Amino acid sequence: MSTDKVKEVAREEFEQAKGLASDAVRSGAYLYPLKGIAYFFTHRELWRPLANKLLPTVSLGLGVTIFMFVFTYVPQAAVLSIFNGPLAVVTTILLVLSEASTVFNVLSKNFLIDDALIDTFDGTLLSRNLTTLVSTERQMKSGSDYVARLGKITRKPFEKWSPKAIIRYFLYLPLNMVPVVGTVLFVVLQGRKFGPTAHARYFQLKQMNKTQKEDFIERRKAAYASFGVPAVLLELVPIAGIFFSFTNTVGAALWAADIEQKSATGESTAPNLRNQAELAKKSS
């Protein structure tokens, strides 16, 4: 391969990365994890799902974090010191926190807080006057309290951790052996996957099929990555990551609400319902 060809490919990759970075900044999606924190603090109704699960989740988070540091920090620090030198102290902490966060997320979101996160997401949408959207997938009650109005869930949408996702996570781990840059890249790759997962409930409420969901994500891949990176960093915080799981959910719901309210009337309708309406018009 000629030098000119290498330069051309490198230039194309740089321009593509530059474009994605520009799209990410322009989307403002990276602000939603912070907006979620502020919104959560100012809307007491949204505290109830977390409060109901606080004791078992704190206990789980504390236990997992302590276990990971006691049994995995020293051997991993020894390995990373070969590649990172003095920086291994910091990079190993980030690595163990990431591992503990992953273990905690697998356990908690599958067995402890999945329903609570759904209630938090749906309650946030109700607070933004998106009752019609929420009612597509769950029963609704009367009242002014957002969370108290939430009835029976029709289907549980949050994606479980698949074996493929766990394998992919461990394939990314060696990146931490590269000082600073490798750890940053590791967080970015994790964030890229985190973004779409945070909107799993939104996709279900919109009644999107697999193709529609993939197209929606592809058109916003830079925005989803920019949302995912700060969200992942927040959930890496020991113990407090439990709290940030809920505020990130609020932030994701606020983003979904903004997407809905900025869309044209026809576009904000659930895809299946919109298709039915279009067929009805053609047949009339």
Phi/psi of residue 241, each to 5°?
A: -60, -25
Encode pLDDT of 21-43 as tens digits: 566 667 789 999 999 999 999 99
Say if strands 138-140 and 150-153 run parallel, antiparallel, or are unpaired: antiparallel
Question: What is the pTM assigned to this prediction?
Answer: 0.78
Highest mean pLDDT range out of 152-166, 178-192, 217-231? 217-231
What span, in angstroms and rounded, lies between the C-alpha atoms of 25 and 31? 10
Question: So what's the pLDDT on residue 279?
Answer: 44
Q: Residue 155: what pLDDT?
A: 73
C-alpha distance across the termini of the chain, in Å: 62
Q: Return the pLDDT at 89.
A: 86
| Per-residue tokens: 80 | 């990373």
Backbone angles phi, psi at 98, to 5 degrees: -65, -45
Span 130-170, pLDDT tens digits: 999 999 989 998 888 889 999 988 876 555 555 666 666 66
**DSSP element (H, E) containing 138:** strand 138-140
3-state secondary structure of 264: coil
Q: Residue 70 — pLDDT band, cuts 50, 70, 90?
A: very high
User: Which residues partner with 153 through β-bridges?
Assistant: 138
pLDDT, mean of residues 81-85:
81
Among candidate residues 100, 41, 43, the one with its CA nearest the CA of residue 67: 100
The residue ranking higher by pLDDT, 153 or 215, is 215
Q: For residue range 253-278, what is the model confidence (pLDDT) as tens digits?
A: 999 999 998 884 454 444 444 444 44
Is pLDDT above 50 for 284?
A: no
**Percent above pLDDT 70 for the chain:** 74
Helix (H, G, I), strand (E, B) or coil at 49: helix
